[in-house]
Structure 1
Amino acid sequence: MDQSRKQNAGGLSRRRFMGSTAGGALVVALAASGLPGRARAAEPLKVAGIYTVPVEQQWVSRIHKAATAAEARGDVEYVFSENVSNTDYARVMREYAEQGYQLIIGEVFAVEQEAREVAAEYPDIAFLMGSSFKHDDALGNFAVFDNYIQDASYLSGIIAGSMTETANIGMVGGFPIPEVNRLMHAFMAGAREMNPDITFQVSFIGSWFDPPKAKETAYAMIENGADMLYAERFGVSDAAQEKGVLAIGNVIDTQADYPDTVVASAIWHFEPTLDKAIAEVQAGMFKAADYGVYSFMREGGCSLAPLGTFEGKVPQAALDLVEERRAQILAGDFTVEINDEEPKSS
């Protein structure tokens, strides 16, 4: 297994992991008893991450950050594989399962069927996977998640709508799948709160990690009048910086790298999602479920990054609306629409 950051600490076989010894029987008995996980988790939970892109990539970086934080707390023992091809994904899943990892996390958007087939082979191992589809109660050890950060994306759209002077916003995404589409729609809805006449240029580059292609796509949008860009992919903010236009970040805050370019960012916090799964596994209560809700703002799963270098530069009317909507979202009085349909240019 190609693992550039850590070597597998295990080497346990699935048979040995499940245990035919008295110790193994005790673990099974405690799980069945429903005792609190901390009472029976003498050792950190063994967690493995499987990623099809580098851990520096925006989306995966948030999963990786949460896992390393859990490891720093002593809750888990964490290893991972990055740049795993779609054709190798099922094999890597099996290898980690055979080595005794108790919770396997990752993203299976391109390998849904194969990943679920592997999970069915290891019913005593918990799988928590980024997916465009819902969980299946018949596959009780396979839970799904996605970055439902539409709340923060909507708020970032309000700021974008107040800052564009041409009322022309360019949006560059990876693929038109639900987890991208819903964020773009939320952003667009927020922007229209400030100016209902804003037009949008929407394009997808067909890759999760191709900064040069994203940059070229952004260049074309700027040439076509966009003075604000939605940077769903790496490379977009580079184009904005070079051409002297503004950008809104997604999933991570890159303002430190683009202090005069990135106005605001919708941040994904994966910690609530992962911590819930860790607790469920430790308690012997993990089951098929949709963990997407833990990305909602009211669950602490997303936020709007601080304005930082743009403090004092965003119109007060936009800031007032952001605070009003944020309070309403947290109180449950305002719901950002979840629209998974592919967004189109105006």
Structure 2
Amino acid sequence: MSALPAQAQAKLKVAAIYTVPVEQQWVSRIHKALSAAKARGEIDYVFSENTANADYERVMRQYAESGNTLILGEVFGVEAAARKVAKDYPKVNFLMGSSGKPQAPNFSVFDNYIQEPAYLSGMIAGGVSKSGHIGMVGGYPIPEVNRLMHAFMAGAKETNPKVKFTVSFIGSWFDPPKAKEAAFAMIDKGADVLYAERFGVSDAAKEKGKLAIGNVINTQPQYPDTVVSSALWNMEPTVDTAIKKVKAGQFKGEDYGPYSMMKHKGSELSPLGTFEGKVPAEVVAKVKAKEAAILSGGFKVPVVETEPKSN
């Protein structure tokens, strides 16, 4: 009997577990990449959102038991539990946003290594700030956030060596009202450009007629007069590589972090869009030169993961 044609073979079953709503910046990028693979007919895709840390292990086990071959999610608050589940299901492949290392044989990790476009967006921020005071609102001071903030700050100092920063963390991954209040406080202190690591910051900037720099996703369409540029994270290179490896039987515990770098198209600086012609030409030229240096390997953005402080 002849083998089944490719289209008749069972699709790869993929599940994702998110601790926040899928519209939250970070997980929205994973969801977008998986939804695209589903739309192409490559995978069957199911997901759970707003999963509490206390419930995470149970949901992971449920997905593993129900025949999913690849499971994705973010396990920053549940590292030990997630790794335990992976050990219990050696034939299931896990790809998790994590601060830790890969775990043989089946637990791979990824992260949003988008410090390169974060540096470039900082150069723009330093170049458009008139007060020389930039406000930065983050979720939690963990390595994943800290490295982007430090890269942004280093970029801003390149175009404005005297720039001053006010840094604040709201203690939540999704609390737009709290982020907005933190941003208002910074504007009151004189900040005229805000680094919007969280949702809510750009709302404050818009209300007060200030500028914002986005993170992970491009929100300029929603804030055409506020968001100058953003460091974008594209999860497609990470997700598509994992799917290919699972299908080929080659998935193993490894670090997928590099697939978020600019050379893999895992990250990029968003186009200036509505701010085309409004950012000083010399700043744009410097940013383009630095972007070329990053892509050629001539410049490496420093990775600093300590908590950034106001100065």
Partner of 2:178: 213
Partner of 1:200: 165
Could you tell me how far 1:39 is from its partner in structure 2? 7.2
Query: What TM-score, normalized by structure 2, do the two folds share?
Result: 0.97
> Which residue type is aligned with residue 323 of structure 1?
K
Could you tell me how far 1:70 is from its partner in structure 2? 0.6
Q: In 2, distance between residues paired with 1:89 and 1:202?
A: 31
Farther off after superposition, 336-345 or 99-108: 336-345
Query: Does residue 171 in structure 1 map to residue 136 in structure 2?
Result: yes
> Which residue type is aligned with residue 205 of structure 2?
A
Partner of 1:233: 198
Is the CA contact (8 Å cut-off) linking 1:41 and 1:282 kept in structure 2?
Answer: no
Partner of 2:269: 304
Partner of 1:107: 74
Partner of 1:10: none
Q: In 2, distance between residues paired with 1:289 and 1:172?
A: 32
Aligned residues: 308
Q: In 2, distance between residues paired with 1:251 and 1:168?
A: 23
Residue 331 (structure 1) aligned to one of 275, 296, 300: 296
> Which residue type is aligned with residue 148 of structure 1?
Y
> Which residue type is aligned with residue 228 of structure 1?
V
Could you tell me how far 1:328 is from its partner in structure 2? 1.2
Could you tell me how far 1:40 is from its partner in structure 2? 11
Partner of 1:31: none
Q: In 1, distance between residues paired with 2:75 and 2:99?
A: 8
Q: Give ranges in structure 2 of 5+ residues lacking alignment.
A: none
Query: Does residue 270 in structure 1 map to residue 257 in structure 2?
Result: no
> Which residue type is aligned with residue 106 of structure 2?
N
Aligned residue runs from structure 1 range 1-346, under 5 A: 42-136=9-103, 139-346=104-311
Could you tell me how far 1:41 is from its partner in structure 2? 9.3
Could you tell me how far 1:325 is from its partner in structure 2? 1.1
Query: What TM-score, normalized by structure 1, do the two folds share?
Result: 0.87
CA root-mean-square deviation:
1.4
Label 1:40 to 1:331 Cα distance change in 2 as closer, same or farther (>3 A): farther
> Which residue type is aligned with residue 219 of structure 1?
F
Larger Rg: 1
> Which residue type is aligned with residue 116 of structure 1?
R
Q: Give ranges in structure 1 of 5+ residues lacking alignment.
A: 1-25, 27-37
For residues 23-57 of structure 1, the C-alpha deviation after alignment (integer angstroms, 9 at most, x for no partner) is xxx9xxxxxxxxxxx97992221100100000000
> Which residue type is aligned with residue 88 of structure 1?
D
> Which residue type is aligned with residue 111 of structure 1?
V
Secondary structure of the structure 2 residue equivalent to 1:344: coil
> Which residue type is aligned with residue 242 of structure 1?
E
> Which residue type is aligned with residue 76 of structure 1?
I
Q: In 1, distance between residues paired with 2:6 and 2:157?
A: 51
> Which residue type is aligned with residue 202 of structure 1?
V
Q: In 2, distance between residues paired with 1:176 and 1:78?
A: 32
